Amino acid sequence: MAKNTQIKKKVVREENPRSFIDFFLRYYLFFLAAFVAAIYIVSLNSGLVYCDDHEIIINNFSRLRDIGNIPAELFRGYMNTDYYRPLINLSFIFDAQLGGREVFFFHLTNVAMHFVSCCLIYFLLLKFNFNKLSATAASLIFAVHPLATNAVSWIPGRNDIIFTIFLLSSFIFFLRYIENKQNRDLLFHVVLFTFAMLSKETSIVFPVILVLYLILIKRNRQPLKFYMPLVSGWVISVGLWVLGRHFASLGAPVNRTGFYLFDNIATIPELLGKFFLPFNLSVLPTFGYFNTIIGIIILAGIIIVVFRAKGINKPMIWFGLLWFVIGILPGLFIRNLDIHDWNEYLECRAYFPVIGLLVCLTEVFGKNLVLNKKNITIFSSITLLLVVLTIKQSLDYKDSRSFYTAAVKSNPNKARFHEILAKIYWKDGDLKLAENEFILAVRSNPKYGLNYYNLGSFYFKTSKYSSAAENFEKAKNLNYKTEYIYEPLALSYKDAGDNDKAINVLKEAIVNNPDSLVFKTYLLELYSLTARYSEFDSILNSFLKSGLTKKEASTIFNNIGENLLKESKDTAALRLIRRAAQIDDSNWLPEKNLFLYTLYIDKDTAKAKPHAKKVLALGGKLKPGELKAVDLKP
């Protein structure tokens, strides 16, 4: 008997919550706030990654800095796009009022709203009749899960955080309404759903999730008139969004919208796999066989559990799984405009859907969760692993260099990622790294002329003119914006010392663009440089017949001459400057150049003096020292 009593006491001691756990549960929300702040401390100190966030804070700051813009923002597109998300715009205005262009405040808002989401998940699970321990565990997993990093650490990711906050709040009031039938709860439910719609159009699937809850979980048949206020409220919410969008001033589309369901269907298993095995996350994800297969296996496992497991609320599992799938569905009907060289989906779009997976996990593991040393160790280990992965993932959002380095690492076949990273290296002065990334962009998509153009531009700016010409030729052969190719291609040949090829390129350019003065100007310079005076006169006559005034033509020739002087091509330069003076004898600029050349290069003050007198007579100005050199008074 005594032995049985000892065993019983041991079991009770082991299964009862320890004092620290009891304290933790009592003050959980304070601990949760500390967890979120500690995990995302890297994000709070991060800068811009130059993936949409610069559009918000830099390019559209004039819209954000004035609080008086709030009424106008209710009828404007989301940061110059065709999306209608006015409450997101208002959130950016709020940040700008706090700290202007200081990125810290934009990140702070994201982190703070993530904490609010975690709190709402906790309260919603309690409303689902899960115990406090289960709700705590699930919301904590959500708080530290690395799949949420894209939404929290990337400033535009707040789109998903904000509409999630409104939908979770709306769900809680929905549950209160169907329990108490209070009109006040119905009003809050509808208003919050409206706010969610005005934050992101993805919210439109929310009523479907609520109907599934009524069918699968509540299973109580109410008279039709009970549901009419709900349905009417949903219709009003969606109608207000449609009406607002209709009258809003929208920007250009950033995605294609259509029936891309089968093209994007892999998003479901990919995000499912990343939730359960978050080791292969990406700042700009693309579809991969590994994540897709893992996700399919996990989905099959969940379905097997639903059919074979005993002692669990299977409808709740189905509800959570359908929540996940339905939450992802809206994103399957859009595609990036540049899908072949850009990301194929975004991990922030999983922010709201994965709450359904938390419901599944809480149902399977939460209801019979016992506080013993083994379970505490397992949960703590999982949580610690997720914390480490989240901190590691948030480092990818530290700045643009970190962001696009991570994008290239996870998606090495995307030419656009290599191109942007190359430009970042170039800006930072890492020319060798920049060259390598431009070359990788070409290898990733060798049939895209832009990649050769970028590589050619890099070589031209770094004075590797032969390599520049080679890549510009490849871009031209791929018909990449040939009107922009001719000029750098001709200049590359010229600076490489191959004037004949440069002239041929410009001739072709003029044939295709007969009204272009730019190409004719360059051709004039080359004809003058190579002493092809008959061709020079032909181009000169075409200039004068093109409708240019004498002053315009004179200024063009004078400018070409100045450029040639800088290159020490004195003979060709003087020919052009003298011609400029002949075309318009009222233009003092050519006379000034002739004066300076005669004074400083020829060192002939006698010949320089007439030019100086003409400059002054035509209203031009010379320095006192220059006038003194030729015995003229200032």
Phi, psi of 252 (to 5 degrees): -80, 150
Helix (H/G/I), strand (E/B), else coil: 176: helix
As a whole number of angstroms, the distance between CA 522 and CA 495 comes to 13
CB-based contacts of 236, cutoff 8 Å, min separation 6? 190, 194
* Cβ atoms of residues 506 and 486 within 8 Å: yes
Taking only the tens place, the pLDDT of each residue in 586-601 is 999 998 999 899 988 9
Amino acid in position 29: L
Residue 79, CA distances (Å) to 87, 88, 178, 445, 559 in order? 12, 9, 38, 30, 41
Q: Per mean pLDDT, which of 95-99, 160-164, 223-227 is the most reliable? A: 160-164
**Closest Cα to residue 71, out of 189, 247, 251, 204?**
247
CB-based contacts of 469, cutoff 8 Å, min separation 6? 456, 489, 492, 493, 496, 498, 501
* Cβ atoms of residues 117 and 164 within 8 Å: yes
H-assigned helices in 370-448 = 373-394, 400-410, 415-428, 431-444
Q: Categorize the per-residue pLDDT at 140 as very low, low, confident or very high, splitting at 50, 70 and 90.
A: very high
Question: For residue 180, with 0-12 CB atoms within 10 Å meaning exposed, 13-18 middle and 19 or more buried, which class applies?
Answer: exposed
* Cβ atoms of residues 303 and 317 within 8 Å: no
b/e burial code for range 295-309 (CB count within 10 A of at least 16 → b): bbebbeebeeebeee
What's the pLDDT at 10? 41
Give percent of the chain above pLDDT 90. 59
Q: Lowest mean pLDDT: which of 141-150, 360-369, 409-418?
A: 360-369
H-assigned helices in 40-157 = 41-44, 53-54, 61-64, 70-73, 86-99, 103-127, 132-144, 149-153
Q: How many residues does the chain have?
A: 634
CB atoms within 10 A of CB 583: 23
Taking only the tens place, the pLDDT of each residue in 43-61 is 999 999 999 999 889 988 9
- List the structure tokens of 455: 């590589």
Taking only the tens place, the pLDDT of each residue in 544-557 is 677 778 888 888 88
Q: Per-residue pLDDT for 111 more than 60?
A: yes
Q: Per-residue pLDDT for 341 more than 50?
A: yes
What's the pLDDT at 159? 96
Residue 528, CA distances (Å) to 203, 338, 398, 590 in order? 67, 44, 53, 16
**Closest Cα to residue 370, out of 129, 130, 25, 14?**
14
Q: Categorize the per-residue pLDDT at 368 as very low, low, confident or very high, splitting at 50, 70 and 90.
A: low
What's the pLDDT at 1? 46
Residue 542, CA distances (Å) to 348, 415, 515 in order? 59, 43, 10
As a whole number of angstroms, the distance between CA 594 and CA 612 comes to 9
**DSSP class of 74:** T
The pTM assigned to this predicted structure is 0.83
> CB pairs under 8 A, 24+ apart, for 438-447?
440/408, 440/412, 440/415, 441/415, 441/416, 442/415, 442/471, 444/412, 444/413, 444/414, 444/415, 444/418, 445/340, 445/341, 445/415, 447/478
What's the pLDDT at 15? 46
CB-based contacts of 192, cutoff 8 Å, min separation 6? 166, 167, 169, 170, 173
As a whole number of angstroms, the distance between CA 558 and CA 587 comes to 10
What's the pLDDT at 537? 76
Taking only the tens place, the pLDDT of each residue in 372-406 is 788 888 999 999 999 999 999 999 999 999 999 99
Q: Categorize the per-residue pLDDT at 563 as very low, low, confident or very high, splitting at 50, 70 and 90.
A: confident
- List the structure tokens of 59: 């390019």
Q: Per-residue pLDDT for 17 more than 60?
A: no
As a whole number of angstroms, the distance between CA 126 and CA 320 comes to 15
What's the pLDDT at 11? 41
H-assigned helices in 309-369 = 314-328, 354-361
Bigger pLDDT: 516 vs 296:
296
As a whole number of angstroms, the distance between CA 352 and CA 264 comes to 18
The 3-class secondary structure across 579-633, one letter per residue, is HHHHHCCCCHHHHHHHHHHHHHHCCCHHHHHHHHHHHHHCCCCCCHHHHHHCCCC
Q: Per-residue pLDDT for 579 more than 90?
A: no
Place of tokens 């017949």: 545
Taking only the tens place, the pLDDT of each residue in 26-39 is 888 999 999 999 99
As a whole number of angstroms, the distance between CA 489 and CA 232 comes to 64
Residues 612-627 have a mean pLDDT of 89
Q: Per-residue pLDDT for 532 more than 90?
A: no
Q: Per-residue pLDDT for 2 more than 70?
A: no
Amino acid in position 214: L
Q: Categorize the per-residue pLDDT at 339 as very low, low, confident or very high, splitting at 50, 70 and 90.
A: low
What is the distance between the terminal CA atoms of the chain, rounded to a whole angstrom? Answer: 122
Taking only the tens place, the pLDDT of each residue in 178-216 is 999 899 999 999 999 999 999 999 999 999 999 999 999
CB atoms within 10 A of CB 443: 12
H-assigned helices in 462-587 = 465-477, 482-495, 499-512, 517-529, 533-545, 550-566, 570-583
Per the prediction, the chain carries an average pLDDT of 89
What's the pLDDT at 18? 57
As a whole number of angstroms, the distance between CA 88 and CA 56 comes to 11
Q: Per-residue pLDDT for 8 more than 70?
A: no
Q: Per-residue pLDDT for 542 more than 90?
A: no
